[in-house]
Amino acid sequence: MKTGALNMEVTTRSQAAAIDELVTVATPLADGPLSSEPTQGEQITEKAIKTTPVQIVLIVLGTVAFLYFARPVILPIFLACVAAMTLKPLIRWLSYCRIPTAISAAVVLCLLVSALGIGFIQLGRPALTWMNEAPQHMTELRQRVQKILPPGARFSAAVAALSNLGATEDEKKADQKKAPAVTVQDNHSSASVLNWTGIFLVGVGETLVLLYLFLASGDMFLQKLVHVMPTLSDKKRAVEISHEIQQNISNYLFSVSIINLGVGLIATTGLYFMGVPNAAMWGMLVAVLNFVPYFGPVAGVFVLGTVGLLTFDTVGKGLLPPFCYLMLHLIEANLITPVLLGRRFTLNPVVIFVSLIFWTWLWGVPGALLSVPILVSIKVISDRVPSMSHVSELLTS
């Protein structure tokens, strides 16, 4: 207990020293004397600037519209910021080893790109093969479902028989001739796929460049933020909020990544021993889906259910992969994640679900991945700003 208290005290002192150092570095840049309390003119200005509820609603709607229509520009910035906050501890550790920040950022970025590239190459080939054979798989799945559920097939056949009841052979042939032939023209499919691929690659490139610049800049942006703060208390609060957001997001994403990697490895091992082909691909797919709260595990259950029904002949064996994954997810969500993350991230489940829906609608899959980090950032800011205490109370479970 004494050792833990001593370590906590040392950590607190080091954080306080870092905050004072940043404030001291940014303070000489100020043009005038620094005061810890707002002046009388600033108090009058704060009293004069009061927003009405209508103005708040208009500001929120304008911000949402801006984020929606400017997502090609804003989304890479958000992704790079979250990734930079996650990788900052590695940059800081390399800086302790006397490695320049620019070189550390380049090394970390190269390792990240190499790991993602190797994973995409190793798992992308079977995924592309399975996607090319998807129509055949869907036909097999429909046949399996019809064998599993014969009453449903009989009911559909009975409905078709009732619709043709009393019709002669000539009338049936005439109805078949009258039925319009549907032809699907897929002239623009190749162009749309190429356009989507180009946009995706451009977005990835922008995100990687911004990520390197954020990592190589160090604390430059934080020093500039401290410089523009009017009072000493505001400067210290800005540094504390920035450090806490960075620490919380880094701890959250590192912990969740380790948990999901473990889930993927366990799922891969289980699917391999069950005899499911391409077990590594499906295991890593459910690991990636597990990053998205609520919707990701549900999608993983449906994916493994489809794979199980296509792989095995009986219903019991076909439903075994999704059942095992569901049990694994319940253990992870109710036992492992709460123990590793603790009460720092005990957010309101309703707020998490609403945030997931909102950011998914706004930015799609990247928005779903960013929903929880954005919510954690809002929680940290609302905890530190007294005027946002009601928002903090709303976000807490």
**Distance, CA of 366 to CA of 343 (rounded, Å):** 26
Among 332, 327, 324, residue whose Cα is nearest residue 307? 324
**pLDDT tens for residues 163-215?**
555 545 555 555 555 545 444 444 555 566 567 777 778 888 888 999 998 88
62 CB contacts (<8 Å, ≥6 apart)? none
Q: State the pTM of this model.
A: 0.70
**CB distance 313 to 320 below 8 Å:** no
Query: Mean pLDDT throughout 256-264?
Result: 90
**pLDDT tens for residues 131-151?**
777 677 677 777 766 666 555
Give the model's confidence band at 44: pLDDT under 50 very low, under 70 low, under 90 confident, else very high: very low
Domain range summary for the chain, segments of one domain joined by +:
70-149+202-218, 248-342, 346-397
**CB distance 252 to 369 below 8 Å:** no
Examine the pLDDT at 96 and tell me if it is beyond 80. Answer: yes
**pLDDT tens for residues 266-306?**
999 999 998 888 888 888 889 988 888 888 899 999 989 88
Examine the pLDDT at 328 and tell me if it is beyond 60. Answer: yes
For the ranges 58-72, 191-205, 233-247, the one whose mean pLDDT is highest: 58-72
**pLDDT at 266 (0 to 100):** 93
**Distance, CA of 7 to CA of 257 (rounded, Å):** 26
Query: Mean pLDDT throughout 352-360?
Result: 89
